[in-house]
Structure 1
Amino acid sequence: MSDTPLLPRKGSVERKTAETSIAIHVNLDGSGTYDVSTGIGFLDHMVEQFSKHSLIDVTMKVEGDLHVDQHHTTEDSAIALGQAILDALGDKAGIGRYGNAYSPMDETLSRVALDISGRPFFIWKAKFTQERLGEWDTELIEHWFHSVSQSAGLTLHCELLYGTNNHHICESLYKGFARAMRTAVERDPRKGGAIPSTKGQLGG
């Protein structure tokens, strides 16, 4: 194995449409630092939680048509985040690939499992009893995870095992996703830079 230090895996996306203008930068080998501004306070809080607990540095600047509603800003920022992660992963050589986490938060417990498979598939088993958290529409939370799954090529399963507080439910799912991603994107030195698939590639 080479003694040459491995370079940090970084990815960037700039995405402009008639509905949103987005710039995102990630560093998979970071320390969980973040600078997030989407115009939706609770979404900012959740992306910050994702960064902090995944140790993926995230810079995210979003200007969206919030005068219409929050859908485009939520969806497009999730798509761009997934694309930036995919860009940083490159050919996915040497990664753990799989990750899972149980995430307790007071009375709430959730489970997230994922595979950086290159074959997006999404399962969601969670419900909210409030229409909003802060000013964020709770129906968009599932859509955020689905959009990240599709754009990053993740097989992603998110499940609420139990819980009653809507804030705790949402934060538990985001923290679980973060911890699962941390495990999946980390380089495994035993793999020696090999792509973790008997096909020799992930996806397709």
Structure 2
Amino acid sequence: MRQSAIKRKTAETTLSIKLNLDGSGKHNIDTNIGFFDHMLTLLSVHSLIDLDVKCIGDIEVDGHHSVEDTGIVLGDAFMQAIGNRQGIKRYGTFYIPMDESLAMVSLDISNRPYLVYEVGDLAPMIGSFDSELAEEFFRAFAVHAGLTLHIKVLYGKNSHHKIEAVFKALGHALREAVENDPKVQGVPSSKGVL
């Protein structure tokens, strides 16, 4: 089973994440940031990755440390769980409509971290969530998971819908990319290594 469990403690956050790439979307999410919990729940449900996240952070300052550190630890957990990358499909691309918004996520489990993030204008806050923190989460996750990650909202007006569509699309793209392909022998790269 492709599973991992990671704990990380800093002066700003205490994090515990358990992840199962071969799960069914079971989740237990608690970061004390309601909208972010909702987004991580959607990521789990749509990727079918079992996810257990507990973050105690300095939210009296703001949500920045909690959100970014969750991305770091989730990326580390993903990297550990994906292992040697043998037999996976490697690539995933998915479009998700959310009412008036349409988002696309395309990714490569390449071990060459990179983020392209184009979502247009967002309201400063979505509930108690600073909308700028979405990019911080995706960057931290991509770097620590070893993903080339392209995120684009093609159009939309409602900030909640735009970010929700992105998290759902990320879930589906991950689901596609981590899937085992019986035709793939070894690592899916002409280099022989990822």
- TM class by shorter-chain length? over 0.9
Match of 1:65 in 2: 58
Aligned with residue 9 of structure 1, among 2, 27, 32:
2
Counterpart Cα distance in 1 of 2:4 and 2:191: 25
Using the size of structure 2 for normalisation, the TM-score is 0.98
SS of 1:191's partner is coil
Match of 1:129 in 2: 122
> RMSD across aligned C-alpha pairs, in angstroms?
0.8
Counterpart Cα distance in 2 of 1:66 and 1:179: 30
Structure 1 residues not aligned, in runs of 5+: 1-7
Counterpart Cα distance in 1 of 2:127 and 2:159: 11
Aligned with residue 197 of structure 1, among 159, 174, 189:
189
SS of 2:61's partner is coil
Which has more radius of gyration? Answer: 1
**Structure 1 residue 169: deviation in Å?**
0.3
Counterpart Cα distance in 1 of 2:119 and 2:132: 11
The equivalences for 1:18-167 within 5 A come to 18-167=11-160
1:138-197 C-alpha deviation (Å, 9 max, x unpaired): 0101111111001101000000100111111010000001100000011111114x1111
1:61-108 C-alpha deviation (Å, 9 max, x unpaired): 000011111110000011100110110001011011000001111111
**Structure 1 residue 124: deviation in Å?**
0.7
Counterpart Cα distance in 2 of 1:52 and 1:62: 19
Structure 2 residues not aligned, in runs of 5+: none
Alpha carbons 1:128, 1:138 under 8 Å: kept: no
Match of 1:5 in 2: none
Counterpart Cα distance in 1 of 2:137 and 2:121: 14
Counterpart Cα distance in 2 of 1:201 and 1:44: 35
Aligned length: 194
1:27-54 C-alpha deviation (Å, 9 max, x unpaired): 0000001000001010000000000000
Match of 1:181 in 2: 174
Counterpart Cα distance in 2 of 1:131 and 1:161: 19
> What residue identity is the alignment partner of 1:117?
S
SS of 2:28's partner is strand
SS of 1:50's partner is helix
Counterpart Cα distance in 2 of 1:105 and 1:36: 22
Post-superposition, which runs of at least 4 consecutive aligned residues in structure 1 deviate over 4 A?
A: none
SS of 2:87's partner is coil
Moved more, 84-93 or 119-128: 119-128
Counterpart Cα distance in 2 of 1:127 and 1:145: 15
Using the size of structure 1 for normalisation, the TM-score is 0.93
**Structure 1 residue 11: deviation in Å?**
1.2
Alpha carbons 1:38, 1:44 under 8 Å: kept: yes
